[in-house]
Amino acid sequence: MALVAGMRVGSRVLFRPWAWLPGAALGRKESAARGRVGARGFGSQRVLVEPDPAAGIAVMKLKSPPVNSLSLELLTEFVISLEKLENDKTFRGIILTSDCPGVFSAGLDLMEMCGKNPAHYAEYWKAVQELWLRLYLSNLVLIAAINGACPAGGCLISLTCDYRVLADNPKYVIGLNETLLGIVAPFWFKDTLVNTIGHRTSERALQLGILFPPAEALQVGMVDKVVPEDQVQSTALSVMAQWLSIPDHARQLTKNMMRKATADRLVKQRDSDIQNFVGFISRDSIQKSLQVYLGKLRQKKG
Ligand SMILES: CCCCC/C=C\C/C=C\CC/C=C/CC(=O)SCCNC(=O)CCNC(=O)[C@H](O)C(C)(C)COP(=O)(O)OP(=O)(O)OC[C@H]1O[C@@H](n2cnc3c(N)ncnc32)[C@H](O)[C@@H]1OP(=O)(O)O
């Protein structure tokens, strides 16, 4: 077996890019939770995993009501489930979707970024980085079955997937809307978007914080297919079959070739990226902006 840049070619699992990342090791409790997935469903409180070993795929459903905001707990459980599937050779693909009606994910949890201390912000941001790195460089075929609104960090997660299917509902908008909150999408969010929809469209979308409704999302290439709501899952399954018809080693090496440079940019500066985030989010003006935004979200109801 040849070794290419740390990847073992000739076995199914070609690369584990996170194995050498600082902070990538899981705790003892988490490690004990690993192991073969088998045919029974598994998961955790916030991440349901429905395996179909015969098909070599699993459906992973985010279940953190009401809006799947990416809390530290959800990020941690997400990474653990992902690692379980990555480590089990039975699985070649994951369909990522939501168990919360009407929302794929509301993005990063604003409560994790408001009124906390720098150590908390640092821990939180490291977890966000970790999930992105693992998803972006995953060996598995990842298909996003987007069955709800998909702003900011929710959009980022979908952009790490190899293919996005969006339900045709005008409420299911998708995009990186950070500027609307008075915050800035970090460079690796931006890179992920540029790699998907190109530079000019990203520049406009990012500055204006555009949340694209389905037809526009399809037009700019933010998603690959828009289908009636009741066909999202079946479409994701048939797209998965197409992707799984490609030999794993060739597809995985190609994916790595397309994505590694983007991931490496973050890997090389993880610590400074954390410091930038902590400095930025701790500013009084940014905290005020986030509070105002949260207030507006709450007022919407009343
Ligand atoms: C030059 C220097 C640069 C340095 C840069 C360095 C670092 C970068 C710094 C910062 C970058 C940080 C990046 C952040 C990315 C993000 O993901 S921020 C989150 C953005 N998310 C949103 O804008 C979505 C907000 N939510 C909604 O629009 C709606 O909730 C929804 C998703 C469309 C669903 O609508 P629905 O009507 O069903 O539900 P409600 O709105 O009633 O919400 C229910 C409940 O949930 C609360 N909530 C919603 N979203 C969030 C969230 N993201 N986090 C936490 N809580 C959320 C909402 O407030 C309601 O709560 P309740 O009133 O208490 O019931």
Of 27, 108, 77, 69, which is closest to residue 277 (Cα–Cα)? Answer: 108
The string over 138-148, giving b where at least 16 C-beta atoms fall within 10 Å of a residue's C-beta and e elsewhere, is bbbbbbbbbbb
Residues 169, 130: Cα–Cα separation, whole Å: 31
Distance 195 CA to ligand 1 centre (A): 24
How many angstroms separate the alpha carbon of residue 235 from the centre of ligand 1?
A: 28
The reported pLDDT for the residue numbered 11 is 32
Is the pLDDT reported for residue 12 higher than 80? Answer: no
Cβ of 177 closer than 6 Å to ligand 1, yes or no, is yes
Nearest CA to ligand 1 atom 29: 106
Q: Are 133 and 151 in contact (CB under 8 A)?
A: no
Q: What separation in Å is there between the alpha carbon of 268 and the centre of ligand 1?
A: 29
The upper half-sphere exposure of residue 147, i.e. CA atoms within 13 Å in the direction of its Cβ, equals: 22
Is residue 248 in a domain? yes
CB burial of residue 276 (10 Å; 0-12, 13-18, 19+): middle
pLDDT tens column, 274-295: 999 999 999 999 999 999 999 9
The DSSP bridge pattern shows strands 57-62 and 47-52 to be antiparallel
Distance of alpha carbon 261 from alpha carbon 11, whole angstroms: 23
The whole-number pLDDT of residue 302 equals 62
Mean pLDDT for the stretch of residues 242-263: 98
pLDDT of residue 15: 31
Q: What is the mean pLDDT of the chain?
A: 89
pTM above 0.95, yes or no: no
On whether residue 1 sits in a domain, the answer given is: no
What is the C-alpha to C-alpha distance for residues 264 and 242, in angstroms, rounded to an integer? 29
Provide mean pLDDT across the span 243-259. Answer: 98
Who contacts 54 (Cβ-Cβ below 8 Å, separation ≥6)? none
Residue 133 belongs to some domain of the structure: yes
Which of 297, 298, 300, 301 to probe ligand 1 with, by most ligand atoms within 8 A of CB?
A: 297
What are 271's two structure tokens? 């610590």
In sign, the C-alpha dihedral spanning 279, 282, 286, 290 is positive
Is the Cβ atom of 107 under 6 angstroms away from ligand 1? yes
Specify the number of domains making up the chain. 1
H-helix or E-strand containing 12? none
> Is residue 2 domain-resident?
no
Answer yes or no: is 14 within a domain.
no
How many whole angstroms separate alpha carbon 184 and alpha carbon 108?
Answer: 13
Q: What is the CATH number of the domain that holds 56?
A: 3.90.226.10
Cβ of 228 less than 6 Å from ligand 1: no
103 lines ligand 1 (CB under 6 A): yes
The pLDDT value recorded for residue 41 is 72
Q: Is residue 290 part of a domain?
A: yes
* pLDDT tens per residue, range 45-72: 999 999 999 999 999 999 999 999 999 9
Ligand 1 proximity of 297 Cβ (cutoff 6 Å):
yes
pLDDT digits (tens, 9 = 90+) for 133-189: 999 999 999 999 999 999 999 999 999 999 999 999 999 999 999 999 999 999 999
Residue 66, domain extent: 42-300
- Specify if 23 maps to a domain: no
* pLDDT band, residue 8 (cuts 50/70/90): very low
pLDDT at 27: 36
Nearest protein Cα to ligand 1, atom 41: 297
Domain-located, residue 257:
yes
pLDDT tens-digit map of 187-234? 999 999 999 999 999 999 999 999 999 999 999 999 999 999 999 999
Ligand 1 touching residue 186 (CB < 6 A)? yes
